Structure 1
Amino acid sequence: MGMNENVSKPLDRLSAELAGDMDRVNALIRERMASRHAPRIPEVTAHLVEAGGKRLRPMLVLAAARLCGYAGESHILLAAAVEFIHTATLLHDDVVDESQQRRGRPTANLLWDNKSSVLVGDYLFARSFQLMADTESMQVMRILANASATIAEGEVLQLTAAQDVSTTEDTYIQIVRGKTAALFSAATEAGAVVAGADPAVQRALFDYGDALGIAFQIVDDLLDYGGSTSSIGKNVGDDFRERKLTLPVIKAIARADEVERAFWERTIGQGQQDEADLATALEILRRREALEAARADAIAWAQRAKAALQAAPDQPLRRILADLADFVVSRLS
């Protein structure tokens, strides 16, 4: 598996379509990440916010709002709020995972320290709620507040399920819904809500974001076992070394014989790994067709995302969003 050369096209089209609004979102992000009294806050935030991320989540807010005919200003506030929530979770995740690389750069906790990463993450969560309040929409605040709680819940569930080789695919999807899909679905639903869309359209865009986020995370988990360091922004095999039970491993364990199960219990369950174990893990994943099975699941979730869009207004932005679902899985060649 590797990075398909055509994957950026739908995202580039979306970026071009939303360029004016995204300029305003980026300006608002720079304004609200400032701190008069604690200069470390913008230092840490800028390190991650300006690291070259695609800003997919705020673009989903803008796209959903425009798709539903919105012509106001609140979508700019919401897009910035979503990006702050995302950045805060990344700062916290890197501390929890003891990560050293994010988007191809050293993590904030490595450059500064864990305390700075956690506290700046807290600051960004607070800023996001200020932005939500500025929309004066209780429904939007409820959506993003619920998403924030779901994200935290998913991270705690992942922590408690970590290294447990009996973890099921259902538990994995529940974790993914928390850690990734919750913010995708909140972004698309909030954009529809602020635009005053019909409840059926709001639900359709929620379902689109949910399925897109799950497909996105499955692909990320697959790339960890077959992507390149430059394409995934971290070291290949990090999930294995960090003993994360992602979907390919869960599928391989479910199909394992006694010898393979002992291997997974030693390397993931007990954390006893040597240099040759990653190659062995890859061989087992291929032999048990776990990578192909996980890829099929990612494609199925992408198809669900595209199907949900059928209830949304039929216009060019809808077609770009449908292409985004294909883009997510096209990262696997």
Structure 2
Amino acid sequence: MSAYACPQGGVVIANEQAAAAAQDGAAHDAEDVPRDAPAEPVSPPRPRRRTGWIVALGIGVIALAVGVALLLLELQSMNARMERQQERIEQQERQIEEQKGLIDRKETFGTAMEELTATAREFEGVGVGGLVPSWQLSYLAESAWRHRYDAAAVERGTDEAIALMAQLSTRLMDARSQASGNSTGSVYEEVVDRLGDGFATTSIDDADRLCGADVLGCVDSAGPRTVHIDAAGAALPYMTDWLKTGIAYHEYAHVLQLTNPAPTESALAAFDGDHEWMADCFALTYLDGWSLDHRVWVSSFQYWDVSVGYGRTCDASQQEVLGDWHSQLGYRSEPVAQ
């Protein structure tokens, strides 16, 4: 074995014997192989499986499925939003229609109230009380304001206003018919119709029995707009048209007293609470020339001295009280706020 230095600075070990041995071995190996021996078959290389694109395809399918699912969810969400929006639109449309209907009903109510108040004003100046229910007009207006957002309530108020207007219109027509006729053909009815504008009626009957006393006439609180004249008293030989006129004034005063209780209660204090004294004062005040005592001539040498009333006249202060009382009677229209 020998060694030498390599020019590059490495160390090379030379072994001639080893090299010769290696050459000899290779020669022997070549000699051992027969020249005519067939070559061993060589297996073709097994193809490699391409798994990469399969994985990519799977990921793509999954991504597509996820995308489709997300798209479906978004579409469902959009549909839900559109449905909610459509519901809101429909609700707003219903509310608009309801508001239009409510406005129409309010306008109808307003028209009905205007016609009702116009009809009620036709009763102004009539002394007979209780003809127009003022409280009901105020109630209808106040009720309509309280329920101004309730279409059904406004409609009910309209129906009530129309019904009341029809009632008042009928009362007006009946009064005009009453004032234009004279079913009893008597002076009593003529006077009462004129004083009451047809809103007070006259009945010639058994007033003594009705009133429970011997009277020429009376007014019952159960029917305060009807003057009852005693038929027997009307047939007395001294009963002149003038006396009948004064009696009618007296009885009509009772109609006014009973149909206007509040102002009457205040005025009665000037007459010691006596309704008859106050009624006599009414006749004395409003029938020119009237007195409580009369001499009725039935021939050139015969006469009747007749006292009509309750024997008490009234002074100027009492007549002033009576005038104030009379100015407060009947219906007085007032603005009706809605």
- The structure with more radius of gyration: 2
Band of TM-score, shorter chain: under 0.3
Q: Kindly indicate whether structure 1 or structure 2 has the higher relative contact order, using CA contacts under 8 Å at least 6 residues apart.
A: 1
Q: Where is the helix percentage greater, Structure 1 or Structure 2?
A: 1
Q: TM-score, normalised by structure 2?
A: 0.28
